[in-house]
Chains A and B, each alone.
Chain A
């Protein structure tokens, strides 16, 4: 049969991840640049805190002025933080939109996409915020039910072993339920970036609708994608674990004035900071991968659930 427009049937979990990686690989420079910008926006509020911190060192003898200064700083800073977060989310979503254009074989330029997404700045923030709140609610709900059931079971069976086993099972079930919700709300930012005239609630509902009946596949794809990024995370953890080894040599009651103690704690702090810096650095490389994989999940679900790829050729 001749080339058909329906050449992309629903993809397997592994293929979604591989294709996401290939898509990222073929647009490496462009996506990395965007990820760098997104990371820059996310870091900016924290960098901004450095000058006032340095200033306060010189104001230690005038506590009144110091407090006043920090009141002003914190007030301005909260606004800055929210704005920068929105900017960072928007840039991250830019990758999804670009990737979707590639998948549909109707690519858009970066400028076009940026112009399209700029007015949605606050919508991306709202989507992010709602999902965080929703998942937080789920978490609380699940914990509440777990605790309640655990209590009832502990009351009914006074056998410790059985109660512990049931508590373990409840814990697993709760985690599964929480992950299931995470999968259902995993792609609203992609929907927001790709679909026009959607508000933040619509996008979250979209994510929910599209993933209906596919939560397990979505979760597996995300998990496999995570597995592939694991080497990078492992590398970033080396300084942290390295600096934790001397910690074990500390006695039971370390003397805080001891030089060795200070040295060990100092190296631990350096380890923590190095690991954080490394994970931020590797984050720049993993963000586009995550966005590509999420976009492929979205793309695949739209083809499967809505036949988005079934289009007659224009004549």
Chain B
């Protein structure tokens, strides 16, 4: 689609691959999800670390001796651990799930190397370590907006890009009414199905795929309109009585499929 940047990569095996870049919206949304999860993890860690520290300190106090330096050490270790969790979260998931974090997975985007291969530990760690720089005053947003390949600093250094995961087209898994199946057979003789172009078929297919999620009134209007136009297109004199527009469209779908199957050899 023209609103998303397409890039083509050639793999080490000289295979050309087409990818759609993730886009700022998906990346911001994924980050939002990840940072919420991160917030939860950090919150739990802080509570646990605080509980552990206070327990330790009270034990030390009872044992006597000078432990005045301990609290600052505990704080430092806690801070360090929290940073490890921050970088580790992204690196861990991006390695484990081949370039995806929970947020990226939900939003359906993925980090890959510039040659199209999955990222490894080195790339994931670099991206993760440089994340604070990208977060600082939202520098990453500007990098993604103005870089031709939507790379933030982490991507530039690690040599990675973020792409949309190709979603397989939902299988045409329709339930057809009996009436439509009968009508499809009639149509092959009654109408001139040669007039139908692949474009028209695609529209009917999309309608049948998406109709269950449409608003009732709009769906009825659309179904009637498509049926009327198609009737004229295939030069059908009259639609057999007791046929709804939806049944008619189903019949067209089936009839067209049969026709194509008939023409294609094998």
Contact = CB atoms under 8 A, between A and B. Distances in A.
Interface of A: 1-10, 12-23, 209, 212, 220-221, 223-225, 227-228, 230-231, 234, 304-307, 310-313, 315
Given A17-B24, A304-B210, A2 B199 contact: yes
5 contacts: A13-B25, A17-B29, A18-B23, A23-B3, A311-B203
Contacts of B229: 312
Nearest to B140: A231
Interface residues of B, number: 42
Interface string B161-185: 0001000000000000000000000
B215 A18 contact: no
A307 B219 contact: yes
Residue from B29, B108, B138 with most neighbouring chain A CB atoms (10 Å): B29
B107 interface: yes
Given A307-B219, A310-B226, 20 more contacts: A3-B199, A4-B202, A4-B203, A6-B203, A14-B27, A17-B24, A17-B28, A19-B23, A223-B32, A305-B215, A305-B218, A306-B214, A306-B215, A307-B210, A310-B210, A311-B203, A312-B199, A312-B226, A312-B229, A313-B200
A306 to B, nearest CB: 4
A310 B141 contact: no
Contact of A2 (B108, B198, B214): B198
A258 B114 CA distance: 64
B255 interface: no
A171 B211 CA distance: 38
Nearest 9 interchain pairs by C-beta = A17-B25, A18-B23, A14-B26, A4-B202, A306-B218, A14-B25, A19-B3, A18-B25, A231-B138
Contacts of B29: 13-14, 17, 220, 224
B25 A224 contact: yes
Given A304-B213, A313-B200, A231 B25 contact: no
Given A14-B25, A228-B28, A7 B138 contact: no
Contacts of A6: 202-203, 206
Interface of B: 1, 3-4, 22-30, 32, 107-109, 137-138, 141-142, 145, 164, 197-200, 202-203, 206-207, 210-211, 213-215, 218-219, 222, 226, 229-230, 233
A109 to B, nearest CB: 20
Nearest to A303: B210
Contacts of B22: 14
B74 to A, nearest CB: 28
Contacts of A212: 215
B224 to A, nearest CB: 12
Given A228-B141, A231-B142, A22 B219 contact: no
Contacts of B4: 15, 18-19, 22
B28 A224 contact: yes
A209 B215 contact: yes
A98 B230 CA distance: 31
Contacts of A220: 29
A306 B217 CA distance: 8
Residue from B198, B206, B230 with most neighbouring chain A CB atoms (10 Å): B206
A10 B169 CA distance: 12
B134 to A, nearest CB: 12
Contacts of B141: 228, 231
Nearest to B27: A14
Contacts of A9: 206
A313 B26 contact: no
Given A14-B26, A14-B27, A234-B137, A7 B207 contact: no
Contacts of B215: 209, 212, 305-306
Contacts of A23: 3
B138 A234 contact: yes
Contacts of B203: 4-6, 310-312
A21 B199 CA distance: 29
A227 B137 CA distance: 12
A315 B210 CA distance: 25
A15 B3 CA distance: 9
A18 B3 contact: yes
